[in-house]
Structure formats: C-alpha cells, structure tokens
Amino acid sequence: MKKIMLIAIVLTATATAVAQENPYQVIYHWGVLPDGRPMGVVTGVHPDPDGKHIWVLERCSENQCAGSDLHPLHKLDMEGNTVQSIGAGLFAWPHGFDIDAEGNIWITEGAPAGDPRGEPGFERGMGHQVIKINQSGEVLMRLGEAGVAGVDADHFNGPAAVLIAPNGEIWVADGHRGGNNRIMKFSASGELLLQLGGGIEDTSLESSRFNDPHDMKMDSQGRLFVADRGNNRIQIFNQNGELLDIWTQYGRPSGIWIDANDKIFVADGMSGEQWNRGWERGIRIGDAKTGYVTEFIPDYEIVNGSGIEFLASDDAGNIYAGQVGRQRFEKYVRVRP
C-alpha cells in the first residue's frame, strides 16, 4: 500500500511540474494600428488562411464602436504592421469572430439586453446579430434582427461567439453574460438545426446547459469545445449535440484555440478571488485529445476585471492574445521547444 501511495505522489508531482512549464516570453503592446491610434479592447484573434497574417478585432480604440467612424477589424503582417482595416460603421459592440475556409469573416454583437455597454448600439438599431463580411468589408449575410433581442430561432440576445464548421454549418454561442445561455447550430443558409440549453432564465450547472457560454472551437475530429465560463468548465459535444465530456482542469475559460495538431490553448482571464477562488489566471495549454494540461503561462499583473479573453496561435506556436482589462494586444513568443 505504501509503495502504491509513493508512486502516486511521484506521478502527481511530476505532472504538476510539467503543467507549470512556461516556454514563452511575452511582447506587450504588439501590433501597430493605422495612424498610431491606440488598441481598443481586443475581442477576437484569428490567423488568416494564407498563414502570413493575423486578424485582430478591437473596439475602435476604446470599449465601444457605436457612433465611431474607425475600423474595428485589422489584418496584420507577422511583424505586427497593419496592412488592411475594415468594418467601420457595421458593429456597435463586437465580441467574437471566426474566419471560414473561404476567408470570409463572421463577427458577433455581444452585448445582451440590459447591458449598459450595449445601449449606444441599441439606440442606433444595432446589436444582437451575427454578421458575415468578406475581406473587403462587404456584408454577405446577417443572422438575427438588428437591435432586437429574443429567444426564438430568428433572434439572439448578445451572441458571444460564432464558429463555422468545415461543412459550412454555423455554430453560435448565444449569449454573453445575462443572455440566452444556449448553443445553436444553423445550416450554411441560416436554418436552425439544433439548440442546446436556452432562455434568459436558463443559467444552469446541469450538463449540456450553460452559464455565459463565451467561446467555441472545433478539433480535428469535429468535436465542439464550449467555454462554459460561468460554470468554470469546458463542455465537449459531437455534431449532433450529444455531450461527450466535461473538463474543469482549464480553470475559468473565456477563450479557446485549437491548432491543426489538436493542441488546445485556453485563456483564463477571470480566475482568482472574485470569480474562481484557488485558481491562477493565465493561459493553459494542453492536448485536446487527452485533456492533459502540459504548460501554463501565468498572469502576474492581476487587475480588477478581466485579463486575457481571446487568443490564437500561429504555425510556429506563438500565441496572440487580447488583454481586456489592460486594453492591449500581446504576442507570446515560444522560446523553448
């Protein structure tokens, strides 16, 4: 018995040491916007399909785009220089986005009804939509009714994230804090195919239910990973909406990124005394196949409010992340294998 316990202790200590490795160095304030304007609150990051650029979504140099004539969406080269900016006047409080296989960009309006941050947009008849644009900024498709919240198939309430599957189906996390707490799947043409959870009063700890579903990503097997942030967990589903697993080892997840090799990167910018006591804020990196956490980048600059919420990686394993509370865009350079 003692021998078995000793082995268990050694294995646990080894696993903990591995999980705490940090092979990254951070570059604060990475990326240069047009005319030297400041970076707004970053609410989305995504590599371009060409592998040579990074797209960043920010709220018009502030935490609000309603009434602004600035572009919120920027295409940066790998040195951080902006080569293109689009989207002025299309969004009030952009929150999350995805890029499909054809390079089209999908962006959500993430403020739910009753959120003061959404009021400037609601007053202008904006919000509660998922909008598809091409890389020239032309609107190709809209889901939801502009400025109108609802719980049926044609309305959202502060959608937090959108994900376009390889087959063109559209997954939407609806909605952001105080929203509908549901996951919806639409056909490529916008027909509702599936709903998990739902309703503004449907905040729940139950399996397949949600509390502030904040981001979604899909692995190489087609499994859907949902950052069920308010419940401090990731829920994993198949394409039919059947629950496959629940992970709590990634802290309080705000953002998820899964690369081509099924390495998973999870942004935990809210753990700590206020929301998730006993957990450190930072970026947890692991294996999407096994769930093991293998690396951790700690956040040493704890401030009131949120830290990192959205992130992505490039082919070299570098990480690009938005610091919400500090209103900056960062690059984490991998310096060790």
Collapse the DSSP code of 80 into the 3-class scheme (helix H, G, I; strand E, B; otherwise coil) and give the result. coil
pLDDT tens digits along 119-159 = 999 999 999 999 999 999 999 999 999 999 999 999 999 99
pLDDT tens digits along 41-84 = 999 999 999 999 999 999 999 999 999 999 999 999 999 999 99
Q: What domains can be seen in the chain, in order of their start residue?
A: 1-30+212-337 (2.120.10.30)
**Which amino acid type is present at position 201?**
E
CA–CA distance, 2 with 74 (Å, rounded to integer) = 59
CA 155 to chain centre: 21
Q: Which helix (H) or strand (E) holds 122?
A: helix 119-122
**Which amino acid type is present at position 182?**
R
pTM: 0.92
